[in-house]
Amino acid sequence: MKFARNVALVLAVAASSCVGAFSTSRINNAMKASSNAATMLRETNGGLDTDDILPSFSTKEEYVSYLKKAGSLPDGFALGTAKGTFVSVEAPAMGPLPIKATVIHLTEGPTDSWAAVFTSNRFPGCPVKVGKDRLAKGHPLQALVINNKVSNVCPGGDGIAAAESVCSAVAEGLNLPGGANTVLPSSTGVIGWRLPAKELAEDVVPKAIEAIQADSAFAAAEAIMTTDRYPKLRSKTLSNGVRVVGVAKGAGMIEPNMATMLGYIMTDATIEKRKLQAMLSAACNSSFNSMSIDGDESTSDTVVAIASGLKPLSSEDELRAALFDVCEGLASDIVRNGEGTGHVMRVKISNFPGSEYDARRMGRHLVNSPLVKCAISGNDPNTGRIAGAIGSFMGKFFPKESVDEMSLTLGGRTIFNNGKFVLEGQEVEEELSNHMADAQLGEHDDFPQHQRFVEIGVDFGGEGSDVTVLGSDLTKEYVEVNADYRS
What residues in the chain have per-residue pLDDT under 50? 1-45, 253-259, 294-298
Instruction: Indicate the pTM of the whole model.
Output: 0.82
Query: Taken in order 77, 209, 115, 468, is the CA torsion positive or negative?
Result: positive
Q: Supply the residues annotated as catalytic.
A: 260
Distance CA 77, CA 422 (A): 55
- C-alpha closest to that of 139 among 112, 115, 164: 112
E strand residue ranges, 240-368: 243-249, 262-269, 291-292, 302-311, 344-352
**List of residues 6+ apart from 259 with CB closer than 8 A:** 5, 6, 7, 9, 10, 11, 250, 253, 288, 291, 292, 293, 296, 297, 298, 301
Contacts 24+ apart (CB under 8 A), 385-390: 386/410, 386/415, 386/456, 387/416, 387/421, 389/365, 390/362, 390/365, 390/366, 390/458
Whether the CB-CB separation of 246 and 326 falls below 8 Å is answered with yes
Whole-angstrom Cα Rg for the chain: 22
50 contact partners, CB below 8 Å, separation of at least 6: 66, 67, 70, 233, 234, 235, 236, 329
Supply the pLDDT for residue 314. 92
Q: Give me the pLDDT at residue 33, please.
A: 42
> pLDDT (tens digit, 9 = 90+) per residue, 129-183?
999 999 999 999 999 999 999 999 999 889 999 999 999 999 999 999 999 999 9
Task: Supply the pLDDT for residue 207.
Answer: 98
Report the relative pairing of strands 413-417 and 407-410 from DSSP bridges. Answer: antiparallel
CA atoms within 13 A on the CB side of 196: 29
**DSSP H/E element including 470:** strand 465-472
